[in-house]
């Protein structure tokens, strides 16, 4: 199995702080999420990621986002990070992540970038920013990609439009500001997560 979770929505906690990360991740996991991304442009991510790996690594795929360098990958591997999400297509970053046995969700926008990521070993792709391209673009891109490769829509995905991206061929989505905004209370994260879970389940009916 290429994608290693049961629920293909990735929670992106951009801007999360170490002192609050546990309560938000706990709320997400209780709601049904099992893929959590902490971007590297979040405050003190070096504390948050290993903390979440230790506490929730057996329940969820804990990973890092906005991973730009091989040095980042090597540092994250030492923390036990299991998922690498990139905003761009960087073959060196992808190859090093795969060498460590991590799941890679590589950011891409074009067919050239998508195939470059796959040739480097990426197991999954994220189309970013999806809201700028739209579901029709993703559907056309999916037509030339290997059918077994999971594709995620990232950027501008909401509970209201999630079904459009999934019907275009996405297996799921990465959820940013419509799920979590820096500073919001854990209960708001829980409520937003519940809305996304409901929207995802409705597509499956």
Tell whether the model's pLDDT for residue 1 goes beyond 50.
Answer: no
List the one residue out of 96, 102, 98, 199 whose CA is nearest residue 153.
199
Q: For residue 63, what are the β-bridge partners? A: 37, 83
- Is the CB of residue 83 less than 8 Å from the CB of residue 49? no
Q: State the DSSP H helix or E strand holding residue 77, giving kind and residue range, or none if neither.
A: helix 70-79
Residue 62 lies in domain: 9-150+160-204
Instruction: Show the tokens assigned to 187.
Output: 């209960």
List the one residue out of 40, 45, 57, 36 whose CA is nearest residue 17.
45
Tell whether the model's pLDDT for residue 2 goes beyond 70.
Answer: no
In a domain, 95, yes or no: yes
Geometric angle at alpha carbon 29, from 191 and 166, rounded to 5°: 70
In a domain, 173, yes or no: yes
Annotated catalytic residue within 4, 17, 20, 37: 37
| Mean pLDDT of all residues in 110-126 | 98
Q: What is the CB neighbour count within 10 angstroms for residue 2?
A: 11
- Split into its structural domains, the chain has a count of 1
Single pTM value for the model:
0.96
CA distance 30 to 28: 5
In a domain, 36, yes or no: yes
In a domain, 43, yes or no: yes
Annotated catalytic residue within 126, 142, 160, 187: 126
Q: Is 37 a catalytic residue?
A: yes
pLDDT in tens, 53-109: 999 999 999 999 999 999 999 999 999 999 999 999 999 999 999 999 999 999 999
| Mean pLDDT of all residues in 120-142 | 96
CA distance 132 to 124: 20
In a domain, 113, yes or no: yes
**CATH code of residue 83:** 3.20.20.70
Peptide bond into 129 cis (omega under 30): yes
Q: How confident is the model at residue 137 (pLDDT cuts 50, 70, 90)?
A: very high
List the one residue out of 153, 132, 202 whose CA is nearest residue 9.
153
CA distance 125 to 170: 10
Top-confidence residue, 5 or 64: 64
């Amino acid at each position: 199995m290429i994608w290693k979770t049961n629920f293909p929505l990735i929670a992106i906690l951009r801007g999360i702080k170490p002192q609050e990360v546990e309560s938000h991740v706990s709320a997400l996991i209780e709601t049904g999420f099992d893929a959590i991304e902490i971007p590297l442009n979040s405050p003190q991510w070096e504390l948050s990621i290993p903390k979440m790996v230790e506490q929730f690594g057996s329940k969820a795929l804990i990973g890092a986002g906005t991973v730009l360098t091989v040095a980042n990958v090597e540092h994250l591997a030492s923390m036990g990070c299991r998922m690498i999400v990139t905003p761009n297509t960087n073959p060196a970053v992808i190859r090093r992540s795969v060498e460590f046995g991590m799941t890679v969700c590589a950011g891409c926008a074009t067919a050239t970038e998508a195939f470059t990521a796959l040739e480097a070993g990426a197991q999954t792709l994220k189309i970013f920013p999806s809201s700028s391209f739209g579901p029709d673009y993703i559907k056309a891109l999916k037509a030339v990609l290997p059918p077994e490769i999971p594709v995620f829509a990232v950027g501008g995905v909401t509970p209201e439009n999630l079904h459009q991206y999934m019907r275009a061929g996405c297996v799921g989505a990465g959820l940013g500001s419509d799920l979590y905004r820096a500073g919001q209370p854990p209960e708001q994260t829980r409520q937003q997560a519940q809305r996304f879970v409901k929207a995802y389940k409705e597509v499956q009916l």
